[in-house]
Structure 1
Amino acid sequence: MSRYLNVCQLSSKILRTGSLRHGAMCSPILKAHNRSLQTLSTVSYPKTGSHLPVSCAQHHYSTETKAASSDNAEKHEFQAETRMLLDIVAKSLYSDKEVFIRELISNASDALEKLRYTQLSEVMPFPTDQDHGKLEIRLSTDKQNRTLTIQDSGIGMTKEELISNLGTIARSGSKAFMTQLSEKNVDVSTIIGQFGVGFYSAFMVADKVEVYTKSHKPDSVGYIWTSDGSGSYEISEFPSAERGTKIVIHLKSDCREFADDQTVLNVIRKYSNFVNSPIFVNDEQTNKIQPLWVLEPKSVKPEEHIEFYRYISNSNDQPRFVLHYRAEAPLSIKSVLYFPETKPGLFEMSRETEVGVSLYTRRVLIKSKTDNILPKWLRFVKGVVDSEDIPLNLSRELLQNSPLINKLRNVLTSRILKFLQDRSKRDTENYLLFYKDYSHFIKEGIVTTQDLNEKEEIAKLLRYESSELEEGNLTTLPEYIEKLAEGQKDIYYLCAPSRTLALSSPYLEALRTRKVPVLFCYEPHDELILLQLRSFQNFNLTSVEKEMRSMDKEEDETGKILGPDSLPTGERDELVSWIQETMKNKVHQVKITSKLDAHPCVVTIEEMGAARHFLKTQSQNLNEEQRFSLLQPRLEINPKHPIIKKLASLSKSNPALAELVVQQLFSNAMVVAGLVEDPRTILGNINQLLTLALEKH
């Protein structure tokens, strides 16, 4: 009695906390019920035997339960623990009632697979008369009587197996069968069952469940098993039963939709469309599309991939690339992944969009479009991943939090990256078309991925124009490194809206003079991507603005600029001091530079890219003084430029005009640096300069 109370308390706690829905119940519940976890009984089969063909005809059972004599029915009570567990399974284990169809079809599929495997080792030959149906699963609906029938022509059950398998929850006959065959090194990849609870999902929707069955063994007797799930079940002989199992589900009044054939068809197509046996609903086959991922890649034709891609993606386009990937180590993986041909829409670009890959185990859908097995940035990939090693919870609806899931995710991500890298080399033209449409996702991967090695692998997929290449030609980071001059430790890049603006940038001048290649980044987010990446293969990713800010290599120890065309030392020092005083509210420092030629000055900031991003996203509530205080811009002037030379003399002869000029020079430099949100703010200063210029004419 005390054990019964303990079980009740434990079951009640689980129902209150809802932990059962998250897979937490499996271990504590089963440990509490020793009878339910006794060593699985096994059926011994001879080690040798020839493959004997099974020639079968369709099953026909009477649906009239009166055919079974109630006089000789044996009544059995569920064990106390089993009664409590049955209540949990029926009410709390599964999140959606429709999955009972998936569970019962999986059981039927296992029964057929067991029969196939048994042919290899059974000593006695199977009957080959026409009284035995084909190896198939048949469902029939009856709206009037509110029933759903699921029937297979599989291995069937004896009376003892009925009591053992249906009288005890969490005893998986399929798992015991798999253990047997695995010990003989037989492939059991098509056996689905693991936990021994799937059958009881029928009680989520049923007032009563009837099971008609007859074992495949010679001279077996047919039986009917009946229960309403309340605490007991009855077993009696049913002489007219044929080999296999038929389950008649008498539906509850609020579950009558499962007596509708269209509802049943939709559930099958969602979960069970790829089981290993044909499935018929009211005599019409529903699973006609092959599960391509279980086939040898070389045996699948391109048109089959197109058909399958359109089926799983619910689209009319074609896959641009196909990755048909199989592996046995470190995990068992069978997958087929598609890269769409169509450019993604705005909704698909959103991170709220679901990942397009569905997770299967042994051909049965576990989770549609799951985000557990691929990173979010790969959400544009469509396809199927099937793995027998996936750790599931008892309801087969949730993935257990396991290192195996992370390993599966890492293996698939690595394989996709390798595939795309290879495709970019072998099929460059198509890859560049793909990159044009999907580069947003690749760049997102660099920002969101935490693993540094994975970041670098993603970065190999990036493509940029370069100052050394003709317009329209793209290069990669590895290709850039291959052409580096000896001693160069940086990969330089310049962000600009277009190639024209990039080539005219003052920040590019010095590097072009030294013939150092610079990558051109035209997308607004490219700068943040490269800031996040920081380095590639031990080479720093450095913006040309940051290079401009570094110490001038032509400056000697006394700070004098070498070159005959520059301002004399005294005039230069006076001009620097005057600008510093005049612009003290905006400029943090004024400096002479020799890195400019065609431009009079530039503005440099410690982290220009971060500054631009800050101004765009977070500076709305700051006034001008606060912005310049945060930016701390440095104004670097070119002492060789005619404007700067004239400004030096103008600062003495006409300070008012000189102040307008230096204000405009600073504003121009801020615009070039991309640090002015609205250029209209500098129009007032321009108009004053024009007024003064026109006064002399």
Structure 2
Amino acid sequence: MKFLPSLVLLLSLAPSLFAQEAANSDSKTKHEYQSDVARLRKIVIESLYSHREVFLRELISNANDAIEKLRLTALKDKTIWDGVAPLNITLKLHKDSDEDTGRLVITDTGIGMSPQELSANLGTLAKSGTSEFLAKADSSSSSGNLIGAFGLGFYASFLVADKVYVASLPPATPANPNPEQHVFSSSSDEPSFEVYKDPRGNTLGRGTEITLILKKDALEYTDEENVKKLVSKHSGFASSFPIYLFTSKVEEQPIPQDDMDAPAEEKVETPKSDDEEMTLEDTTEKPAESAEVKMRNVTVEEWVHLNDQPPLWQRDAKEVTDDEYKNFYKATFKQYADPVLWHHFKGDSGPVSFKALIYVPESLPEDYWQSPLAASQDTRLMVKRVLITSDFGEHKLPKWISWAKVLIDADDLPLNVSRETLQNNRFLKQIKNIVVTQFIKAMTKISEEDPERYTNILKNYNHVLKLGVIETAVEGKSGNRDKLAALTRWDTTLRKNISLQEYIDSRKEGQTQIYFLANIGQSTENMRHSVFVEKLMARGYEVILMTDTMDEIFVGNLRTYGSMRFQDAAKKGLEYGDEDKEKEKAEMDKFKEDYKPLVSFFVNSTKEAIKDVVISNRLVTSPCAIVVDSFGYSANMEKLLASHGKKTALQDYATKQKVLEINPRSPLIERLLKRIMALAEDENERDKEEEAELTEVANILIDGALIRSGFEVMESNIFFERVDRALRRSLGVSETAKTEVDVEPAPPQAAAPPQEVEEPSMDPNDFIEMKDFKDSLQPEMQRTFGTPRVKEEGKGAPMRFDANKLRDMAGGDTEKMERIAEDIAKQLSAAKLQEEASEEAQPEAIKHEEL
């Protein structure tokens, strides 16, 4: 088994963690910060970072830089690294026994620094050893993966630390065959730093060790679980090299028979290299078989691999299995259910190359439709595997796709000095378009390759796609609008779950319109019997049935699809495409002439409810229907707008664009025409009762047409009174006959407020035991009662109930008696338990009210 020298030495480091301070002050070199540098350093500590937890991200990123720098240098000089010694980053936490101070130690096995480099890279703000190294590196070495300015990121340490020690040892080289380990030390409130030889000697072997003396309000960073979460959040994929955390836990283990009195042992596992699996053999002798095995607590210390989840998006999509995609999704986005779809891609946006993953969750967030604005934090932008932001501000994804789980990793982006935001937000603007485009691409592919799976996805996302059409239309992006519309699916009068393209492919010869009918909340079966589709269905035309709230808004924003225009079957303008216009015109002209008296009568009788009366060519069996003008609101839209409160002037105008269409072939309409024509032309000679009856019939027809067409009648009470009178006439009941009423009036107003009624005193004999009460019920009801726990007086006594009062409360219903008794039992049990828990504080038992 191969051990890393620096890590083995680290285990014995605790007793001498502050040996740096033991060095003679004469051996230390003290450096004063320049005034400008000191001022800027203060800004870094106090103002630059919005969240102080990012200090760990910065230090891990710097450690990764140091190891990467070693790896690249070794390509030209193999003496500094043999290619075998492990390359990794370790974290060790120390919380002192007084719980008032703590330390966090971060160690890497990277390139290390000489004392001159410690002063230059750490003592000068934003002086970057990494940047200088890249400037000197061969321009062809594009394999480098260096994140940023080491000096600046290092000062994030002072967000949580009062003092920082940096011990570093560079590798041996021909120019420096015997390097020595030096320490850089600085305090957050001092204007100077020191660099001196490490009195402990060369403990690291190679690399850098940063010891943070934590502030009192930063001791949370000595908690193992907290540090694990921070590494997972900010740096889970930031390093190409393994990150280990030293942990300890207590386990129960059997005591060997020959070592019963031995003290608790400590078992330590050493961190593994990135390409080496370590095994730890347990040499403790197993206890001999015995009737009784004694146990003892053993402290087990081990190195836990924190970034064992590989950066999956960096791999070739063809090499990643479905299970790997699912596990990565659950681990990264903290989800329990598998995603229903994912899309793994790479691309370029100008000079920026990136790789990305888009996941479609099993379902939408529970509060998705309650919030009008997008507020997702699940679009994560990373730069070289370091999380930069998940808050895109004004450039966030639109509402319709804000639920998506997205991870984008760019190769390089210009970051601000705190590495928390981009210097140029142009790429942020592009991310929205990239995600939307790639999502549409993924959905289109699955709809074509696996229609059954796509149908299951749409159970939760069909509404979202419709919202996407509406939002993209508002943004003026017609390309995405049409692509999203192609992904939607619809039920029709003939088929289920078809696309708009499938509808167009099945159109009749000469058909230029996409027929649809919208009605919120109606079943498609009921809509197939609507007056508006009866002729379309009779002729064999297909009509899309829209039942969702936003469907009509969807059509209003889309207007056309392909070469066809949407046409509401409930509005004027419906065309079949095969009309014989001359023949139909002649026929309609004849009907108009014949029915002119009836049309005039309807107009005069119902001008408040409708705008116009016309002869219909869409009705087959129904006598009449209400349609709206092209600029009017359908019944579906009226309901939708009515749910939002006060009408605007435009809405009021649109709701008055109703047109009554009458069917000239309906026997009812034909009969009504004959009776209208029988009325005398001279108003003075007309039969007033006949005219009143026909007017009422006309109003009933219009109200019925409103209801049949999905609208609300103007005055429902008047409508039902008209129907009542019509029924009286048909049954021979006088319209003036009144219902005999015999209603007893209420008593006079009370002279004084009601007096409180005293509860009757209870005789103990009125109570029955819980057992007796249960036995009095049916056997199958007894199972619902738990074991009685308390009684009004005395612990442990059976619970008792007033049987007479229970029967009164339940009205003699035994099931209701059972529920009441059970509720009372639970309440008394809870009260009694609370009483017992507070007996020490209050010796006298709390007395509950008698039932």
Q: What is the TM-score when the length of structure 2 is the normalising length?
A: 0.69
Structure showing greater radius of gyration is: 2
Q: Does 1:280 align with 2:244?
A: yes
Q: Secondary structure at the match of 2:367?
A: helix
Aligned partner of 1:452 in structure 2 is 478
1:183 alignment partner in structure 2: 139
Cα deviation, 1:429-462, whole Å, max 9, x if unaligned, reads 0100110122122122112222111111111110
Could you tell me how far apart the structure 1 residues matched to 2:543 and 2:665 are?
Answer: 25
Pair 210,615 (structure 1): closer, same or farther in 2 beyond 3 Å: same
Give the superposition deviation at 1:314.
2.1
Instruction: Write the deviation string for residues 457-501 of structure 1: whole angstroms up to 9, x where unpaired.
Output: 1111100123343xxx32111222233345543322222322223
Paired with 2:385 and 2:354, the residues of 1 have a C-alpha distance of 12
Contact 2:121 2:150 in 1 (8 A): no
| Aligned match of 1:246 | 209
Aligned to 2:525: 500
Give CA deviations for 1:540-570 in whole Å, capped at 9, x if unaligned: 222222355689997989996607xx98554
**In 2 relative to 1, CA 152–615 (structure 1 residues): closer, same or farther, beyond 3 Å?**
same
1:295 positional shift: 1.6
Q: Contact 2:365–2:403 at 8 Å: present in 1 too?
A: no
Between 1 and 2, higher relative CO (CA 8 Å, sep ≥ 6) is seen in 1
In 2: Cα distance, 1:447 partner to 1:182 partner? 52
Shift of 1:664: 2.2
CA distance in 1 between partners of 2:708 and 2:129 (Å): 74
Q: Which of 92, 103, 126 pairs up with 1:140?
A: 92
Conserved 8 A contact 2:349-2:427:
no
Choose the corresponding residue for 2:693, options 653, 657, 668. 657
Cα distance in 2 for partners of 1:588, 1:437 equals 41
Summarize deviations over 1:560-594 as a string: whole Å, max 9, x none.
6607xx98554411111111111111211111122
1:408 lines up with 2:431 in the alignment:
yes
Match of residue 80, structure 1, among 26, 32, 35: 35
Give the total of aligned pairs. 635
Q: Equivalent of 1:491, from 500, 508, 514?
A: 514
Deviations 1:643-663 (A, max 9, x none): 211222333552222222222
- In structure 2, what is the equivalent of residue 587 of structure 1? 610
1:322 Cα offset (Å):
2.5
Q: List per-residue Cα deviations over 1:310-349 (Å, max 9, x = no partner).
A: 21232322222232222346542222332233x4353244
Q: Distance in 1 between matches of 2:566 and 2:412?
A: 41
The 8 Å contact of residues 69 and 237 in structure 1, kept in 2 or not, is answered as: no
- What residue is the counterpart of 1:164 in the other structure? 120
Q: Is the 8 A contact 1:104 1:198 kept in 2?
A: yes
- Aligned match of 2:156: 201
Structure 1 counterpart SS, 2:595: helix
User: Could you say what secondary structure the match of 2:340 adopts?
Assistant: strand
Other structure's SS at 1:207 match: strand
Structure 1 residues 369 and 302, CA, compared in 2 at 3 Å: closer, same or farther? farther
1:482-530 Cα deviation digits (max 9, x unpaired): 3334554332222232222322222223434554432222222211112
Match of 1:686 in 2: 723
For 1:484 and 1:396, the matched residues in 2 are separated by 57
TM-score (norm 1): 0.83
**How is 1:90-489 mapped onto 2 (pairs within 5 angstroms)?**
90-122=45-77, 124-126=79-81, 134-144=86-96, 145-178=101-134, 180-181=136-137, 183-188=139-144, 190-193=145-148, 196-218=151-173, 219=176, 220-229=179-188, 230-238=190-198, 239-242=201-204, 243-274=206-237, 275-282=239-246, 283-328=303-348, 330=350, 331-341=352-362, 343-344=363-364, 346-351=366-371, 354-368=376-390, 372=395, 374-400=397-423, 402-449=425-472, 450=475, 451-469=477-495, 473-485=496-508, 487-489=510-512
Instruction: From the superposition, tell whether residues 170 and 678 of structure 1 become closer, same or farther in structure 2 (CA, over 3 Å).
Output: farther
How far apart, in 2, do the equivalents of 1:477 and 1:669 lie? 31
Amino acid in the other structure paired with 1:692:
R
Whichever residue aligns with residue 91 of structure 2, its letter is L
Q: 1:567·1:639 contact (CA, 8 Å) conserved in 2?
A: no
Contact 1:72–1:236 (8 Å) recurs in 2: yes
Aligned-CA RMSD value: 3.4
* AA matched with 2:208: T
CA drift at 1:128? 8.1
The 1:271/1:677 distance shift into structure 2, 3 A limit, reads farther
Cα distance in structure 1, aligned partners of 2:48 and 2:556 = 47
Change (3 A) 1:688 1:176: farther
Shift of 1:248: 1.0
**Of 671-680 and 485-494, the range deviating more from structure 2:** 671-680
CA distance in 2, matches of 1:85, 1:534: 59
Q: Deviation string for 1:599-618 (max 9, x for gaps)? A: 22222223455664344334
The 3 A distance-change label for structure 1 pair 630 and 463 is: closer
Classify 1:389/1:543 alpha carbon distance in 2 versus 1 (closer, same or farther; 3 Å): farther
Distance 2:715 2:640 in 1: 14
Q: How far has the Cα of 1:265 moved from its partner?
A: 1.8
Q: CA deviation at 1:257?
A: 1.7
Amino acid in the other structure paired with 2:221: F
Q: How big is the shift at 1:99?
A: 1.0
Deviation at 1:103, TM superposition (A): 1.0
* Closer/same/farther in 2, CA of residues 596 and 90 from structure 1, 3 Å limit: same
CA distance in 2, matches of 1:629, 1:531: 15
**CA deviations over 1:10-51 (Å, ceiling 9, x no partner):** xxxxxxxxxxxxxxxxxxxxxxxxxxxxxxxxxxxxxxxxxx
CA contact (8 A) 1:139 1:280 kept: yes
SS in 1 for 2:27: coil
AA at the equivalent of 1:397 = E
Q: Check conservation: 2:244, 2:305, Cα contact below 8 A.
A: yes
1:683 is displaced (CA, Å) by 3.1
Q: Percent identity?
A: 30
Q: Deviations over 1:48-106 (max 9, x none)?
A: xxxxxx98652636522225443122222222222121111111111111111111111
What is the match of residue 26 of structure 1?
A: none
Instruction: Report the Cα offset of residue 203 of structure 1.
Output: 1.1
- Asked if 2 retains the 8 angstrom alpha-carbon contact of 1:211 and 1:246, the reply is yes
The partner residue of 2:543 within 515, 518, 539 is 518
Unmatched runs of 5 consecutive residues or more in structure 1: 1-53
Relative to structure 2, which stretch is displaced further, 168-177 or 415-424? 168-177
Determine the C-alpha separation between the residues in 2 that align with 1:643 and 1:184: 90
1:15 alignment counterpart: none
Matched residue of 1:319: which SS? Answer: coil
Supply the distance in 1 between the matched residues of 2:674 and 2:114 (Cα, whole angstroms): 110
SS in structure 2 at match of 1:597: coil
Give, in whole Å, the separation in 2 of the partners of 1:153 and 1:678: 83
Q: Which amino acid aligns with 2:236?
A: N
Q: Is the 8 A contact 1:586 1:629 kept in 2?
A: no
Could you tell me whether the CA contact under 8 Å between 1:527 and 1:609 is conserved in 2?
no
Which ranges of 4 or more aligned residues in structure 1 deviate by more than 6 Å? 549-560
Where do 1:16-95 residues align within 5 Å?
58=7, 60=10, 62-64=16-18, 65-95=20-50
Q: Deviations over 1:158-187 (max 9, x none)?
A: 233222221222333334444555721422
Q: For the Cα contact (< 8 Å) 1:356–1:382, is it kept in 2?
A: yes
